[in-house]
Structure formats: structure tokens, C-alpha cells
Amino acid sequence: MAIEADLTDIAHVIQLAVAPVFLLTGVGTIINALNARLTRIIDRRRVLEERMEAPDKARATAVRNELHLLARRLRLVYAAILLAVTSALLVCLLVASAFVGAFVAIDLGRAIAILFVMAMLALIASLGFFLREIFLAVVAGYHPVK
């Protein structure tokens, strides 16, 4: 009878862990998109750095301005990645805590709730930085250096 109760508890914990695992999939997708943007920013910076040696002063100023904008975008993407990874780690801790709580006679409900709220706050902040970076990219797209 005790084995059935343990299996029921484990099955219940697994059911509860399914939603956070889907959340991890979504956060992973966001991290992948952010990584792609980071790569594009770095590639664009390399192209512009090669053009910095142009003798044309107006063009060199435009290149410096775009490099400054790329540096801002790079910081935003990096912050977004950092927060998204933090969110994913908090979700992993949440799932682990749920399993630990099922095996040990400790009520981890409050800790699990706090981990979830922290994960959501990190994800919200990550998406905010992502949105800001997209805004800067759109603004820069109107005046690229050729």
C-alpha cells in the first residue's frame, strides 16, 4: 500500500512539473532567438569596423554612430540572455524543489511559489530588454551605413 502511495505522489509531482517544462521550452526558444540577434550584431560590427578606415570623414562619423548603437544593442541582448537563462535556472530549481518536497517531509510550497514568481520576473525583464533591442534595431534600419 505504501508503494502505491509513493507512486501516486511521484506521478502527481511529474504532472505538476509538466507546465514548467513547457515553460523551459519557451524560454529556450527565446534564448535561441536572442543568440541569433547577438550573432547578427557581432557580424555587423565586424563589417563596420572594416569600414572605419575609410578616408571620408562623414562616412567615418556615420560608422562610429552605428557602432555606438550596435554596442547599446549588444548590451541589451546580453542582458536579455542573462535574464532568460536566469529564468530557466529558476524554473529548473522549481522542478527540483517539487521533487524534493515530494520525497522529504518538508513543505516547499512557499519556496516553489517564490521561485516561480522570480522566474516570471526574470522572463518579463528579459522580454523587456528584447523589445528595447528590437526597437533600436528598427530605428537603426532606417539609416544604415552602406
Tens digit of each residue's pLDDT, the chain (146 residues): 455 556 676 777 677 777 888 899 999 999 999 999 999 999 999 998 887 776 677 788 888 889 999 999 999 999 999 999 999 999 999 989 888 887 787 888 899 999 999 999 999 999 999 999 999 999 887 666 66
Instruction: Look up residue 85 and give its amino acid.
Output: V
Residue 82, in any domain of the structure = yes
> Can you give the pTM of this predicted structure?
0.84
pLDDT in the model for residue 140: 80
Residue 86, in any domain of the structure = yes
pLDDT in the model for residue 111: 92
Residue 97: name the closest of 81, 82, 119, 80 by CA: 119
Residue 146, in any domain of the structure = no
Residue 113, in any domain of the structure = yes
Instruction: Look up residue 107 and give its amino acid.
Output: D
Cβ neighbors of 16 (< 8 A, separation 6 or more) are 98
Residue 82: name the closest of 139, 140, 130, 15 by CA: 130
At residue 145, φ and ψ (nearest 5 deg) are -80, 130
Residue 77, in any domain of the structure = yes
**Helix, strand, coil abundance in the chain, percent, nearest 5:** 90, 0, 10
Residue 71, in any domain of the structure = yes
- The tally of domains found in the chain comes to 1
Query: 121 is in which domain, residue-wise?
Result: 2-141
State the DSSP string of 23-81. HHHHHHHHHHHHHHHHHHHHHHHHHHHHHTT-S-HHHHHHHHHHHHHHHHHHHHHHHHH
Instruction: Compute the distance between CA of residue 103 and CA of residue 29 in angstroms, rounded to an integer.
Output: 32
Residue 32, in any domain of the structure = yes
Residue 12, in any domain of the structure = yes
Summarize pLDDT for 6-42 with one digit per residue, the tens.
667 677 767 777 788 889 999 999 999 999 999 999 9
